[in-house]
Homo-oligomer: A and B are copies of this chain.
Amino acid sequence: MAESFPMNGGDGTYSYAKNSHYQREATNVAKEMINEVIAEKLDVQSLIASSSNSFCIADLGCSVGPNTFFAMQNILEVVDKKYVTQGATSESLEFQVFFSDHASNDFNTLFASLPPSRKYFAAGVPGSFYGRLFPRSSLHLVHSSHALQWLSKVPEELLDKTSPAWNKGKINYTSSSDEVANAYAAQFQKDMKIFLNARAEEIVVGGMLVLIMAGLPDGIHRSKFPLGVFYDSLCSSLMDMVDAGLINESQVDSFNLPVYAATPKEITEVIKDIGCFSIERMEVADPRSKLGSSVNVPSLIMHFRAGLEDIFTKHFGCEVIDELFERTFLKEAEISSALESSYKKGNQLIVALKRE
């Protein structure tokens, strides 16, 4: 079973609901591409002919909102528009939207915050997307944003002291050895294969799969990945806490973030290997372009906290979390400077596939 590290629930200061607007900006960048690809490539009318004029969408790794609501609303509008363009009959299209995430996701908050004016039937689906979640051929469009960079687990070699991939003193692969990076890459390939095989069963022929995730263009070295700067900074705070006697060094050695930024080449390989999907679009986009010229580092750290608090807490205990993030806040200048030398042009992979 895939490990689960839900985003922070509720709607408090450190909640994902309050700290996810960067992910939303990224979704906005993807929006234009999604709209085009649906308008051009999705044959809504023939898709729904066998489903009583209802169109089923799933958002995998939806977290608690509100980003998932914006994304689903957008897709719904574009699909409906395409349907009308195709000369729809008098009977209107009905939509069912499945919000899916790990069972430990805060579905109560998600359900309580569903837009009251929504024009779809909402459902929540608990479970890991590294496995089947829906009956065969039951979905017309599947969307996943900022979720697939989460691996199903940390590659095992990283925790093996006798392995050349032992990741001592690091918590991610971006500034680690090639052995560590290769172990992450292999895990990504394995997970992506499981993901795509499951979706190939669930999506009807002619349906689409749209993926938005952390990524890097082909040929850019992993050390240039901008989020790596934050992981390194959190790692450096942890090492400072080791020096201060607050945690043990072995705790840091045995901790790794199961997060990976793939390249178009890596994803293309898995897709071709599976063979059930055609690649309609693939690009590496830059969400930051919509966020103004400079990055707000403290705000980004809050975003990291909303997304990563759970995984840090499970390993290090809840008593060190405030300390960890407070120490990282103090590294703002260092982070800003390191970001200057990271790859700035694009770190969001957007992929649109069609089930053949």
Contact = CB atoms under 8 A, between A and B. Distances in A.
Nearest to A102: B111
Contacts of A53: 136
B112 A135 contact: no
Contact of A126 (B95, B96, B111): B111
Nearest to A127: B122
A200 to B, nearest CB: 13
A137 B98 contact: no
Contacts of A135: 51-52, 54, 56, 94-96, 121
A107 B134 contact: no
B54 A136 contact: yes
Contacts of A108: 106-108
A121 B94 contact: no
**Interface size range on A against B:** 20 to 34
B103 A112 contact: yes
B123 A98 contact: yes
Contacts of A123: 98, 123-125
B107 A111 contact: yes
A68 to B, nearest CB: 14
A345 B313 CA distance: 56
Contacts of A136: 52-54, 94
For the complex of A and B, list the 3 residue pairs with the smallest distance between their C-beta atoms, beginning with the closest. A54-B135, A111-B126, A52-B137
9 contacts: A50-B50, A51-B135, A51-B138, A98-B123, A103-B111, A107-B111, A111-B126, A122-B127, A123-B125
Interface of A: 50-54, 56, 94-96, 98, 103-104, 106-108, 111-112, 114, 121-127, 132-138
